[in-house]
Amino acid sequence: MATLLNEIDLQLLTELQADADRTNVELARLVGLSPAATLHRVRRLKESGVIRLISAQLDPAAVGFPLQMYVAATLGRHDLRTTRLFEEHLRSVPQIIAADNVTGEMDYLLTVVARDVAELRDVLAALAARGGSRLVTYLRLDEVKPPSRLPLLAAPASVTGRRSSPAADSDPSSRPA
């Protein structure tokens, strides 16, 4: 269930998505609130679960993980026990940095990092031993679009891809404070 958010909440969230390292005083100035009111709102957004986590986004290659793969995993069996064991394994492997249960030709889409081919081979072998009967790997060659912010202040696009109002065409992060 979505949390009710007002315009100030949306502005705060947009600013935090752009740069979560901003100080409370800087955030307050950007959204036009006092530092105390800003701190209260950010705490409320964290407690409600709207803000899950504030963290640094690292470059995997720069910190020693030159291999970045997507792994499409299909389970050999689709019973509760197999699913539970496989998902517990996914959560326990540090090289699996993201895992999503999906529909379609596969059951899971994983993002895996590795220092070398031997480490990747070990991750794949462990997945196979825990119920992954079909593992298709895709080597990530280049990042075309980095993880994006949620378009909180943008107007929804129509089916044709055009925005519903001309005012919505401006980038919300470039609006003056």
76 shares its domain with 133: yes
Q: What is the pLDDT, as a whole number, of residue 148?
A: 85
For the chain, how far is it from start to end, CA to CA, in angstroms? 30
66 shares its domain with 122: yes
Is residue 174's pLDDT more than 90? Answer: no
Beta strands in the chain (DSSP E): 67-75, 96-101, 108-114, 132-139
Q: What is the pLDDT, as a whole number, of residue 169?
A: 41
Q: What is the pLDDT, as a whole number, of residue 172?
A: 45
pLDDT in tens, 38-49: 999 999 999 999
Is residue 117's pLDDT more than 50? Answer: yes
Q: What is the pLDDT, as a whole number, of residue 1?
A: 65
Q: Report the candidate in 166, 138, 142, 123 with the shortest Cα–Cα distance to residue 60.
A: 142
Give domain status of residue 154, yes or no.
no
45 shares its domain with 106: no
Give domain status of residue 20, yes or no.
yes
Residue range of the domain that includes 25: 1-57
> What confidence tier does 57 reach under pLDDT thresholds 50, 70, 90?
confident
Total number of domains in the chain: 2
Is residue 159's pLDDT more than 80? Answer: no
For 67, half-sphere exposure in the C-beta direction (CA atoms, 13 angstrom radius) is 17
69 shares its domain with 51: no
The DSSP output letter for 157 is: B
Burial of 177 by CB count in 10 Å (0-12 exposed, 13-18 middle, 19+ buried)?
Answer: exposed
Q: What is the pLDDT, as a whole number, of residue 161?
A: 52
**Which residue, 28, 57, 86, sits at the end of a domain?**
57
Give domain status of residue 158, yes or no.
no
The CATH number given to whatever domain includes residue 17 is 1.10.10.10
> What confidence tier does 166 reach under pLDDT thresholds 50, 70, 90?
very low
Give domain status of residue 149, yes or no.
no
Q: What is the pLDDT, as a whole number, of residue 81?
A: 96
68 shares its domain with 131: yes
> What confidence tier does 170 reach under pLDDT thresholds 50, 70, 90?
very low
Give domain status of residue 118, yes or no.
yes
The CATH number given to whatever domain includes residue 122 is 3.30.70.920
Q: What is the pLDDT, as a whole number, of residue 155?
A: 64
**Single-letter residue type at 118:** A
Residues 89, 77: Cα–Cα separation, whole Å: 15
Residue 55 makes CB contacts below 8 A (sequence gap 6+) with 20
Alpha-helical segments (H) within 48-158: 80-92, 117-129
**Which residue, 57, 86, 105, sits at the end of a domain?**
57
45 shares its domain with 78: no
Give domain status of residue 150, yes or no.
no
